[in-house]
C-alpha cells in the first residue's frame, strides 16, 4: 500500500531536492556516508557482543548497471526493519543516526556522519525511482518511492544483513546527462573527491584491459576482464603520526591533491587536542599561482569531517594574509549545515581558524630565523600579500604581521627584518631610515642616499606598495620611520642665503614649496629634490598611474649643495642667469628622481646658453 510522506512531505522534499543541494554529484557522498554510519552501528554492536569481529566483513560496494540504468550502493551494516524504514525514510528530517547517538554515549560512535536525516533524499536529484532493500536480524523489507511522491514498504528477500539502495536514473535531457553516474570513471572520481577517507573499503567491480595470451609484437591483441577494486584510501595522511611519515609522502600528497606541480616549500602537520579536536596538514607553496594576485584567486583549505569531504575550499579557515596556504583540515567537532555543503560559522570553526593562522605565522617566523634561504624564497613570492593585509587593514594587523616583513638594507646589502634593523641601531639613532625609488639600482645611485652617513643603515624600498605600507606602520616598537628625503620643518635658513632662496622660489612658484641651501650633501650631489608633508615623490608617481586617481602632488623642496660650483654661480649670477641656472638645477633634480621635464626643449636651450 502506498503511503504519503509525513511532515508536509512534498514541500519539504522539493526544498531538499531543489534548494538545499546545489551540486548533484554529492548524492553519492551522502549515500556512502549513510552506509558508513550503518556499518559503524553494526561494528559497535558486534564489539559489545561475544561475536568474533572480522574487519573484512565490513565494506561498502557500488554496483553500476548500464542495462537497467541503475546504481546500487550496498553496505554490510546493521540494516533496518520495517519500523525503521518507516521512521527514517518515511519521515523527512528524522535521523536514525541522531537517535542512535543520543542513546549510545560512547566516544567510538560519536563521529557518525548523519545528523539531519536528509542526505538520503539527495538521491532524487539524479533518480526518479529509489528502491531500498534492507535486512536486519532475520527479516528483510523493501522501501520503494517514485519521484518522491509517495512510498511503500513490503516484505522482501535478501540473503545478507545490511542495506542495498538502488537508484534508477532519470532520463537524459539536453542539459543533463545522468548516464555519467553509471560510468566507472565518474564513480571513481566522485569517491576519490568526496569519500576517499571513509574508514571502510568502498569496492566496485571495474572493467580493465590487458594483453591477450596470444598477443604478439607483430599482432598485438587485448582482452577485457573485470576485477574488484577498492576505490578509497581509507587512512588519510593527516591521521598518521608525523614521526612515521617521510618528506616524500608529504610531497606526493601535495601533488596528488593538485595543490601544485612543483615541490612545496614547507609544511605544517597539526594534531590539536582540546576543546575542539582537529588534524591538518598546511603547505607553504614554493611558487605563487599565476592568478594569486588577481580578483579571481580563491583561498581556502579542504575541510573533512569523519572522512567525508565537506568543502573543497573553506575560505574562512585562512586569514587574507595567509591566503597562499594550501592543505586539508579534518574535525569531527564542527557543526554541519543541513546540506553539508555549507557550514555555520561556529565557535568550533573560529577556534580551528585561529589555531591554523597562529601556527602558520609561527612556522614562517621559524623559517625566517632558522632557514633564511627558504623564507626569502617565500617572501619574494608572497611577501606582497602580507604587506597588502597590513595596508588594507589600515595598520590594524601591523602588530600581528610586522615581524614577517623583509626590506633591503643598504649596509647589509641583503633583505633584513625590522627586528634585525632595530638590533643594529646605534644608541644615538632615533629613527628607522628609509629611501624610496623605482628600483634598487636607482635608489643606490640617488643623491639623497649618497648624502646619508655611511654609519646609518637605510631601508631601500623599491616595491610600489612599500612606502604606503610604511605610512600604515607608522612605528616599529615605538621607533618612528623617517624618509631620508623628508625635510625637517625646524631647519633654519642662513642669513647669507635668504635673499638667494627668495629669488629662486619666485622663479619656481608652482613647482616647489621651498628651496634649501645645504652643507651636508655629498660631493657628488649638486641639486636634489626632497619633500614636505605625507605625500612623497614616489607616491605622486604611483598615484598618477592609477585610473581616475586624484591629482595629488608632493610638496617639493629643491636642495642645493653649498659646496658645489653651482652654488658659487648662483651667488654671482645676474637676474637672467639666475633664472636659467635655477631651472636647469631643478630640471636635473627632477630627472634624477625619475620625474618628467615639462619642457625638454627649454631645458636643452638653457644648457647651451650657459655653454
User: What is the rounded distance in angstroms from the CA atom of residue 416 to the CA atom of residue 476?
Assistant: 14
Residues 6+ apart with CB under 8 A from 513: 532, 555, 556, 557
Band (390; pLDDT cuts 50, 70, 90): very high
Comparing CA positions, the residue from 516, 507, 467, 468 lying closest to residue 489 is 516
Q: Let me know: does 134 contact 165? Beta carbons within 8 Å.
A: no
Compute how many other C-beta atoms are within 10 angstroms of the C-beta atom of residue 189: 14
Task: Give the rounded distance of the alpha carbon of 357 from its chain centre.
Answer: 11
Domain range annotation of the chain: 3-230, 237-374, 405-484, 494-537+551-611
Please tell me the predicted confidence (pLDDT) of residue 491.
59
pLDDT at 143: 94
The C-alpha atoms of residue 592 and residue 595 are separated, in whole angstroms, by 8
* Strands annotated E in 502-604: 514-518, 527-532, 555-561
Cell of 276: 575542539
Query: Which pLDDT belongs to residue 339?
Result: 46
- Whole-number Å distance between alpha carbons of 188 and 90: 30
| Residue closest to 259 by CA, chosen among 236, 281, 240, 241 | 281
* Spatial separation of the C-alpha atoms in residues 202 and 61, rounded to whole Å: 6
DSSP string, 125-182: GTEEEEEEEEEETTEEEEEEEETTTEEEEEEE--SSSEEEEEEEEPPP-SS--GGGGG
- The distance of Cα 485 from the centroid of its chain, to the nearest Å, equals 38
| More confident call, 306 vs 321 | 321
CATH class of 3-230: alpha beta
Q: Given this model, what pLDDT does residue 393 score?
A: 94
**The model's pTM:** 0.72
183 C-beta neighbours (distance < 10 Å), count: 13
Cell of 126: 539524479
On the question of a common fold for 237-374 and 494-537+551-611, the answer reads no
Sheet with strand 278-284: strands edge to edge: 266-272, 278-284, 326-330, 301-305, 308-314
Cβ–Cβ < 8 Å for 488, 518:
no
pLDDT level of residue 81 (50, 70, 90 thresholds): very high
Phi and psi at residue 567, in whole multiples of 5°? -65, -40
Q: Which three cell numbers stand for residue 298?
A: 580563491
Q: CA-to-CA distance for 323 and 385, rounded, in angstroms?
A: 8
What are 20-37's pLDDT values in tens digits?
556 788 899 989 999 999
Residue 509 pLDDT: 85
Q: How far is Cα 606 from Cα 247, in angstroms, rounded to an integer?
A: 68
Rounded CA gap, 263 and 85, in Å?
Answer: 50
Average of per-residue pLDDT values in the chain: 86
Query: Residue 182 class from Cβ within 10 Å (0-12 exposed, 13-18 middle, 19+ buried)?
Result: buried
Q: Which residue has the higher pLDDT, 503 or 362?
A: 362
> Which range among 203-212, 222-231, 520-529 shows the weakest confidence by mean pLDDT?
520-529
Separation of alpha carbons 251 and 47, rounded Å: 38
Quick one: which of 59, 35, 8 has its CA closest to 132? 35
More confident residue, 212 or 323: 323
Confidence of residue 526 (pLDDT cuts 50, 70, 90): confident
State the DSSP code for 363.
H
What single string gives the DSSP state of each residue in 8-70? THHHHHHHIIIII---TTHHHHHHHHHHHHHHHHHHHHHHHSSPPP-GGG--EEEEEETTTTE
C-alpha 332/C-alpha 278 separation (Å) is: 7
**How is 372-401 classified by DSSP, letter by letter?**
HHHHHHHHHHHHHHHHHHHHHTTTTTHHHH
Q: Which of 297, 257, 304 is nearest to 278 (CA)?
A: 304
Highest mean pLDDT among 75-89, 109-123, 593-607: 75-89
CA–CA distances in Å: residue 421 to residues 363, 375, 406, 407, 611: 21, 17, 10, 9, 47
Give the residue with greater pLDDT, 374 vs 125.
Answer: 374
3-class DSSP state of 456: coil
CATH class of the region 405-484:
alpha beta
| Average pLDDT of the residues in 144-153 | 87
The number of C-alpha atoms within 13 Å of 228 and in the hemisphere containing its C-beta is 8
pLDDT at 342: 46
Kindly report the CATH class assigned to 494-537+551-611: mainly alpha
Domain 237-374 class in CATH:
alpha beta
For 215-250, how does the pLDDT look when each residue is reduced to its tens digit (9 = 90+)? Answer: 888 888 899 999 999 999 868 899 999 999 999 999
Question: Which set of grid coordinates corresponds to residue 510?
Answer: 608652482
> Which pLDDT tens digit goes with each residue over 252-309?
999 988 899 899 999 999 999 888 999 999 999 999 999 999 888 999 999 998 888 8
Neighbours of 343 (CB within 10 A): 19
Amino acid at each position: 500500500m502506498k503511503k504519503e510522506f509525513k511532515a508536509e512531505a512534498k514541500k519539504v522534499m522539493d526544498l531538499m531536492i531543489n534548494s538545499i543541494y546545489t551540486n548533484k554529484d554529492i548524492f553519492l557522498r551522502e549515500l556512502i556516508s549513510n552506509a558508513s554510519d550503518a556499518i559503524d552501528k553494526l561494528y559497535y554492536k558486534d564489539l559489545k557482543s561475544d561475536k568474533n569481529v572480522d574487519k573484512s566483513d565490513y565494506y561498502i560496494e557500488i554496483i553500476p548497471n548500464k542495462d537497467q540504468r541503475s546504481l546500487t550502493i550496498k553496505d554490510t551494516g546493521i540494516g533496518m526493519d520495517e519500523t525503521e524504514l518507516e521512521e527514517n525514510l518515511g519521515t523527512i528530517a528524522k535521523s536514525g543516526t541522531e537517535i542512535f547517538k543520543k542513546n549510545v554515549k560512547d566516544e567510538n560512535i560519536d563521529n557518525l556522519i548523519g545528523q539531519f536525516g536528509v542526505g538520503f533524499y539527495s538521491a532524487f536529484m539524479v533518480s526518479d525511482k529509489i528502491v531500498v532493500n534492507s535486512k536486519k536480524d532475520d527479516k528483510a523489507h523493501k522501501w520503494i518511492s517514485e519521484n518522491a511522491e509517495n512510498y511503500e514498504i513490503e516484505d522482501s528477500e535478501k540473503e545478507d544483513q545490511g542495506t542495498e539502495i538502488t537508484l534508477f536514473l532519470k532520463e537524459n535531457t539536453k542539459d543533463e546527462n545522468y548516464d555519467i553516474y553509471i560510468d566507472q570513471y565518474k564513480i571513481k572520481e566522485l569517491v576519490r573527491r568526496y569519500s576517499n577517507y571513509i574508514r571502510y573499503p568502498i569496492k566496485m567491480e571495474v572493467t580493465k584491459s590487458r594483453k591477450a595470451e596470444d598477443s604478439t609484437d607483430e599482432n598485438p591483441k587485448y582482452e577485457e576482464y573485470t576485477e574488484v577494486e577498492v576505490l578509497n584510501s581509507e587512512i588519510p595522511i593527516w591521521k598518521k603520526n608525523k614521526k612515521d611519515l617521510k618528506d616524500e609522502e608529504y610531497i606526493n600528497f601535495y601533488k596528488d591533491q593538485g595543490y601544485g606541480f612543483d615541490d612545496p616549500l614547507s609544511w605544517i602537520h597539526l594534531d590539536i587536542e582540546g576543546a575542539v579536536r582537529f588534524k591538518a596538514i598546511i603547505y607553504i607553496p614554493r611558487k605563487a599561482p599565476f592568478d594569486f594576485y588577481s580578483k579571481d584567486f580563491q583561498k581556502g583549505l579542504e575541510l573533512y569531517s569523519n572522512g567525508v569531504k565537506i568543502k573543497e575550499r573553506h575560505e574562512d579557515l585562512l586569514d587574507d594574509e595567509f591566503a597562499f596556504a594550501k592543505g586539508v583540515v579534518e574535525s569531527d567537532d564542527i557543526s554541519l549545515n543541513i546540506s553539508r555543503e555549507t557550514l555555520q560559522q561556529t565557535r568550533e570553526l573560529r577556534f580551528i581558524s585561529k589555531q591554523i593562522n597562529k601556527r602558520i605565522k609561527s612556522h614562517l617566523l621559524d623559517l625566517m630565523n632558522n632557514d633564511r634561504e627558504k623564507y626569502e624564497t617565500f617572501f619574494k613570492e608572497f611577501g606582497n600579500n602580507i604587506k597588502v593585509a597590513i595596508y588594507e587593514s589600515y595598520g590594524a594587523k601591523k602588530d600581528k604581521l610586522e615581524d614577517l616583513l623583509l626590506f633591503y638594507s643598504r649596509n647589509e646589502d641583503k633583505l633584513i627584518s625590522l627586528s634585525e634593523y632595530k638590533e643594529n641601531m646605534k644608541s644615538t639613532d632615533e629613527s628607522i631610515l628609509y629611501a624610496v625609488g623605482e628600483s634598487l639600482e636607482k635608489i643606490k645611485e640617488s643623491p639623497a642616499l649618497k648624502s646619508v652617513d655611511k654609519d646609518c643603515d637605510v631601508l631601500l624600498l623599491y616595491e610600489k606598495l612599500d612606502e604606503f605600507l610604511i605610512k600604515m606602520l607608522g612605528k616599529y616598537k615605538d621607533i618612528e620611520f623617517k624618509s631620508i628625503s623628508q625635510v625637517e620643518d625646524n631647519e633654519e635658513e642662513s642669513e647669507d642665503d635668504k635673499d638667494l632662496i627668495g629669488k629662486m622660489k619666485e622663479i619656481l612658484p608652482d613647482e616647489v614649496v621651498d628651496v634649501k641651501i645645504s652643507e651636508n650633501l655629498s660631493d657628488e650631489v649638486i641639486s636634489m629634490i626632497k619633500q614636505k608633508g605625507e605625500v612623497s615623490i614616489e607616491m605622486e608617481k604611483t598615484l598618477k598611474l592609477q585610473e581616475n586617481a586624484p591629482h595629488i602632488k608632493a610638496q617639493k623642496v629643491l636642495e642645493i649643495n653649498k659646496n658645489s660650483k653651482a652654488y658659487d654661480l648662483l651667488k654671482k649670477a645676474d637676474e637672467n642667469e639666475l633664472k636659467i641656472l635655477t631651472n636647469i638645477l631643478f630640471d636635473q633634480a627632477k630627472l634624477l628622481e625619475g620625474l618628467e621635464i615639462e619642457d625638454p626643449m627649454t631645458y636643452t636651450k638653457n644648457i647651451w646658453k650657459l655653454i
